[in-house]
Amino acid sequence: MKHKDGLAEIDRLERGLLLDGGPDSEPAGHDEQIDGDEDELPPLYTASFGETEENFVKYQTTRWVLYSLLLILAWGIGLFMLIYLPLRRYILRIDIRSRKLYLTSDAIVYKVRRPVSFPCFGVLKKEKHVLLLSVADVAIEQGYLQSLFGVYSIRIENVGVRRPPSDDVQIQGVTDPHAFRKAVLSQLSTMRGEVFSRHVSTLDDNPTPCTGHSSVASMSPSKLRRDSFPHLAEVAILQKLEEVGSSVKRVQTLIEEQKLQASELAE
């Protein structure tokens, strides 16, 4: 009974904070626009967060309570975390209500506006634009604890093997991540098709003077892919594979030389 009374008291305080929170407590994804929206392209697909608000807050609350219980043994830090829990839940609600994730014709845009750890000190604004041509894939993830609450995470993976995974954009709480992934991949396929058509038409309009035929016919498929599409992910991957292959060959050569030297010294 004490546990239920404590949860009821937390919910009552949380509703009071949301009602008295002023303009910052309104969902930014519906009525509020962040500066600069007028200059952006119209969205082709807009993701939703409202349907998963309760599950998202419960999931984050459970994580916070588990960490607090573990840290009670560490000089009582967990007790302060439990006291901070109602304010933490309030910040989580403002966070997920302010999230905006949408797809334009050339980019993925993610915006969020949430209070800092103590709301009296202001809010934090985050805005991220990811060009579609730099997107390798949209990964959908769900851990064990997330599966208990029906919460999904999406990770926008970047093209290029040299970039660390920390550069990927990670977003939690998207209502229908599969539909968002399908929309991104569909638009990305359309863009690549337009780039292909544009490059082919450019090559057709500039025939070589010697043969009178377009340069497309005289170029091999591999050379056409390399010269015509330098910004596509497939070309970047092929170049990286060639670099890895050459590195492996050099390593094999060094190993063979070391074996020969070892055999000569043994004799």
Laid out side by side, the sheet with 45-46 consists of 45-46, 100-103, 107-115, 123-131
Helix H or strand E segment including 177 = helix 177-204
30-83 pLDDT per residue, tens: 333 444 455 667 889 999 998 999 999 999 999 999 999 888 877 778 889 999
pLDDT of residue 161: 54
184-225 pLDDT per residue, tens: 999 888 888 887 787 777 776 665 554 444 444 444 444 444
What does the alpha-carbon distance between residue 226 and residue 75 come to, in Å, rounded to a whole number?
60
Structural tokens at position 257: 């030389």
